[in-house]
Structure 1
Amino acid sequence: MSETYLVGIDLALSSVRVTAYDWNGDVALSGTADIAEQSPAGWERAVREAAVFLPRARIVVSTIGTSGTVVTVDEYGNPIFEPRWYYETEPEQADELLDLDTVQELSSKGLSLSAASPLAKVLALRERNPDRFDDVEWILSPATWLLYRLRYPTGRRWTDLETDWTNALKFGADITRSAPDWFEPLFDAVDVPLDLLPAIRRPGTTVGHAESEFAADVGLRDAELYHGLTDGNASVLASGCLYPGDCSIVCGSTSVVKYVSETIEPHDALYYHRHPIEGYLPGAAFDTGVVLRWLCEQVLDIRQERGLELARAVDSDDEPRVYLQGNRSPFFDPGMGTTLLDLWPDDERSIGETRGRLVRGLVSSIALSEYTYFPILEEHFGEAVDRIHLVSGGEPAGDDPFSWWNTLRASIWDREVLKMEPRTTVGPLIPAALTASVYEDVDEASEQLLRVNGKVRADDDLREEYEPVKRRFASEWRLIADLYEDLK
């Protein structure tokens, strides 16, 4: 068998990572580079800096990009506007969208529109720059843009473009169809022609071969290109969420909870993706790590690691109760801030003890907030959620502060917790490798490409101490949300 390499390119917010894996899933080469300029030209420069150069072999390539970022190009792939990032908002255009009769129908299909929705940004670009908008030939996601930048040589028209259904979702895709497609009534209502959008295909669908000069410059001439995934979906596959009943939590700036279901069953606290391989991905994402970083660095003036060290020395019955902000799931209330209760001035505590108490309250609250989704999923889908695939810092049996936090999580969750190696670039390569017949089936692909670091052991004493707390936490969190509503 000739040598085959699988290359994943992660075009993230501030950096690019390129990782090449051999058939066994071992890293052959890897490169990273910061993105100095947020533009397609800046992305290209970062890919060039992160490029890996493999020996002559069969090379399978797929890409990852941020979900909900808008890239507009002309017929030759040249940018018309600067990218509009997933976190940027257009409230006025969102209000226009939310007034449409079609929005409720789209919501029932698993997609809710907001001020951060790509279509709101597209409408804003058109309203503010109508003449320039006339030059837009394609509206793309970053992952799709990068694939076609590798595909087409300079000066060749970009024709017959396609995108994967994970990157299409937030733009306005109906993922409930057997073959997902654009939700035409929505685009008709705002007069956005569907021919500005690429056709929707399954992740891992063949794009073609890399023929551009750019591809040659980064060591990928003639590589096979396959449609990729959003960053969230890539993390989910890399965490091992492959079959119905699988559940994962990816912890970073946010905590992203994902579950594999066979059907779509709408729920206020869940949004849906079509699973890249089979079924659906109900899930939620809420701000967690970013709140911890803010508390430690901006308020307490300490590193996160130091904050967790101090928190570790605090008893569970001595922590204040913290309730996370509700701007994202489960409340979607931008007016609900992170709330701290049971804060009493105490001159007898040292500065370190006071800092540790605040951090302990927050990290326990984060674990409790993550836990609230397990009963929701179990009740909604009628299946026990008894194993969690965790992607986070720390080690399964480590003694560092982040490993202690994982132990706290496992104790509060009271479920088997598998600590997964964070291999985001593997995510889009699983469906790509299946299409390319690199592996016979999902089992073989996951066995070769995924890595389990080990089990995170719960602390029996902590499990018992938090049992009454977690039974009432969800209702208390709801009371805080209602209080904010009453105070408006």
Structure 2
Amino acid sequence: MAKQFFIGIDVGSSGVRVEVYDVEGNLISAGKASITKQDVVEWIKAIENATPSVVKNCVDCEKHVSIDSTSGTFVAIDKYGNVLYGPVMYYEKRSDVFEEIKNVDAVNELAKHGVSVDASSPFVKILYIKKHFGKLYEGIYKFVPAATWLLYKLCYDEGEQWEDIKTDYTNALKFGLDILSTPPKWFELLFNSIGIELEKLPDLASSGEFICKAKSRMAQNIGLYNAFVYQGMTDGNAAALAGGALGKGDVNIYTGSTTVPKISVDKIVMHPAIYYHIHPLDGYLAGSATGFTGAYLSWFAEKVFGFSVEEAFRYIEVVEAGTEYVFFPYGDRGPFYDPKLAPAFINVAMYDQPRDIVVGRILRSIVLGITMLENMYLNLFQNLFNVRISEVNLTGGAAKSKLWNRIRASVYGRRVIVHGDLIGVGTIIPVLYRSKIYTNIGEIKQRFLKPVEFIDPDKELTKIYEKFKEKFEEMWMRLREVYKI
């Protein structure tokens, strides 16, 4: 039997990472490349540069590939896959259009179906294109998520007509997916109400569903000619799977510029702080995207104190636990979705102490406040879904600090499992499962997910931080009144 390669391509907003695994779950090779500007040609160039040479060199290998990309990013294409408009990035907003439609019944109904709606929602930006570029809009064949476009670029060569275009449920969510239906489908009431033709959207599929055998020049350039191509997912879902959120009750917290807590569940329980994805394997992923948590720490370190985040932890380490100020993160996104709720410090007192201690106290307070936010979600998950969470999986750049992870475990009162920064493995897990290469999710987890560290709570720290936990949420909610002034 030919050697099998499973290739996960993670296309982020600043770079591409390509990971190559064998069927036993061993990482064969990995490569990365930067994205210097948001342009589809740049995306393809970065994928070519990031793909390890082993992919091209192994001419007799059976190759399986899937792609994840940023949630909500899309392009508008003609029938040959040529980009007519975009890319439109997930962070772009059309507030004027959103103001026009935010009170439409169908828009509010979609939010009740567990899909958050705001000025950055893709359907808002599609409506903007229709309103301002009417002739262009008429000529658009499909609006497709970034990952979907890249996958079909492997299937079709230049000049070939694209047919049977599908996108996966996770990428479809923000565009207006009705996840309460079985199977999930487009929320037709929304599109009929705001005037977007459903035929301009792709059909729907599960992550890991087979698409084609790669035949394009792009595929040939990176050694993927004749590779099996499968539906992908959003980068957030890939990170959650790569971080262990595979079966019911599994929790992953992605820690980076934002904090993204997710839990794998088998039911939907509506709550204003939670939105849902169709789980790429089975059931749902419940979670939230919070405000700029890690970005606030790096902003304070770099802009206020003039050093890197890595150096910041040298200041944090010398501060005595329990002497932190109380820091509340942004509340503009989860859990409050209050655009006026900016960060705040309270209990700030002046002491005649060395500057290093004062600086460290401020920075450690931010770390503790972010950890309290994470713990709020763990408690919410546990109560909402009636599950017992005994361990928490961590991924992302902010999970690299041993000190922070010890604080996390102690505040959570739960074991912390730290995973690396390999996101592509999450993208290929549904491929392994839906292709029946593996039929047991537990076996996939054992073979393909290799945690780098396990941290148990420190009893002394747990006791010290108990007083911070008791009133954190209550005080944070009261802060909303302050920002109304």
Into which bin does the TM-score normalised by the smaller protein fall? over 0.9
Query: What residue is the counterpart of 2:247 in the other structure?
Result: 243
Pick one of 135, 140, 143 that aligns with 1:136. Answer: 140
Query: What residue is the counterpart of 2:365 in the other structure?
Result: 361
CA contact (8 A) 1:311 1:360 kept: yes
* CA apart distance, 1:42: 1.1
Query: What residue is the counterpart of 1:261 in the other structure?
Result: 265
Pick one of 382, 385, 401 that aligns with 1:381. Answer: 385
* 1:80 maps onto 2:84 in alignment: yes
Query: What residue is the counterpart of 1:168 in the other structure?
Result: 172
CA contact (8 A) 1:76 1:158 kept: yes
Query: What residue is the counterpart of 1:427 in the other structure?
Result: 426
CA–CA distance in structure 2, aligned partners of residues 482 and 148 of structure 1: 49
Query: 1:215 is aligned with what amino acid?
Result: A
Query: What residue is the counterpart of 2:334 in the other structure?
Result: 329
* CA apart distance, 1:75: 1.0
* 1:471 maps onto 2:475 in alignment: no
Query: 2:31 is aligned with what amino acid?
Result: G
Identity among equivalent positions (%) equals 34
Query: 2:195 is aligned with what amino acid?
Result: D
With over 3 angstroms needed to count, the CA separation of the structure-2 counterparts of 1:170 and 1:394, relative to structure 1, is closer
Query: 1:319 is aligned with what amino acid?
Result: E
Query: 2:309 is aligned with what amino acid?
Result: Q
Q: Matched residue of 2:265: which SS?
A: coil
Matches within 5 A, 1:70-469: 70-286=74-290, 287-346=292-351, 348-393=352-397, 402-469=401-468
Query: 1:197 is aligned with what amino acid?
Result: L
Query: What residue is the counterpart of 1:398 in the other structure?
Result: none
Query: 2:347 is aligned with what amino acid?
Result: D
CA contact (8 A) 1:69 1:84 kept: yes
Query: What residue is the counterpart of 1:13 in the other structure?
Result: 13
Q: Matched residue of 1:374: which SS?
A: helix
* CA apart distance, 1:349: 2.2
Q: Deviations over 1:313-360 (max 9, x none)?
A: 1123321111111111011112111111122344x3222122111101
* CA apart distance, 1:15: 0.7
Q: Deviations over 1:404-460 (max 9, x none)?
A: 111011111101211223321011201112222322332222222111223112221
Range moving further from structure 2, 264-273 or 21-30: 21-30
Q: Matched residue of 1:417: which SS?
A: strand
Unaligned stretches of 5+ in structure 2? none
CA–CA distance in structure 1, aligned partners of residues 311 and 36 of structure 2: 30
Query: 2:410 is aligned with what amino acid?
Result: S
* CA apart distance, 1:128: 1.7
Query: 1:340 is aligned with what amino acid?
Result: F
* CA apart distance, 1:392: 4.1
CA contact (8 A) 1:9 1:425 kept: yes
Q: Matched residue of 2:140: which SS?
A: coil
CA contact (8 A) 2:281 2:433 kept: no
Matched residues, number: 480
* CA apart distance, 1:116: 0.8
With over 3 angstroms needed to count, the CA separation of the structure-2 counterparts of 1:434 and 1:317, relative to structure 1, is closer
CA–CA distance in structure 1, aligned partners of residues 442 and 67 of structure 2: 22
Query: What residue is the counterpart of 1:31 in the other structure?
Result: 31
Q: Matched residue of 2:33: which SS?
A: strand
CA–CA distance in structure 2, aligned partners of residues 478 and 32 of structure 1: 42
Q: Matched residue of 2:173: which SS?
A: helix
Q: Matched residue of 1:248: which SS?
A: strand
CA–CA distance in structure 2, aligned partners of residues 178 and 34 of structure 1: 39
CA contact (8 A) 1:322 1:341 kept: yes
CA–CA distance in structure 2, aligned partners of residues 364 and 449 of structure 1: 32
Query: 1:257 is aligned with what amino acid?
Result: P
Q: Matched residue of 1:207: which SS?
A: strand
CA contact (8 A) 1:33 1:50 kept: yes
* CA apart distance, 1:393: 4.7
TM-score (norm 2): 0.96
CA–CA distance in structure 2, aligned partners of residues 438 and 97 of structure 1: 46
Query: 2:68 is aligned with what amino acid?
Result: I
CA contact (8 A) 1:4 1:58 kept: yes
Q: Matched residue of 2:23: which SS?
A: coil
CA–CA distance in structure 2, aligned partners of residues 447 and 311 of structure 1: 35
* CA apart distance, 1:153: 0.8
Query: What residue is the counterpart of 1:483 in the other structure?
Result: 482
Q: Matched residue of 1:439: which SS?
A: coil
CA–CA distance in structure 2, aligned partners of residues 381 and 332 of structure 1: 22
Q: Matched residue of 2:483: which SS?
A: helix
CA contact (8 A) 2:414 2:456 kept: no
Query: 1:28 is aligned with what amino acid?
Result: I
CA–CA distance in structure 1, aligned partners of residues 281 and 301 of structure 2: 40
TM-score (norm 1): 0.96
CA–CA distance in structure 1, aligned partners of residues 458 and 442 of structure 2: 32
CA–CA distance in structure 2, aligned partners of residues 22 and 159 of structure 1: 31
CA–CA distance in structure 1, aligned partners of residues 42 and 234 of structure 2: 20
* CA apart distance, 1:81: 1.3
Unaligned stretches of 5+ in structure 1? 396-400
CA contact (8 A) 1:180 1:201 kept: no
* CA apart distance, 1:249: 0.9
* CA apart distance, 1:99: 1.4
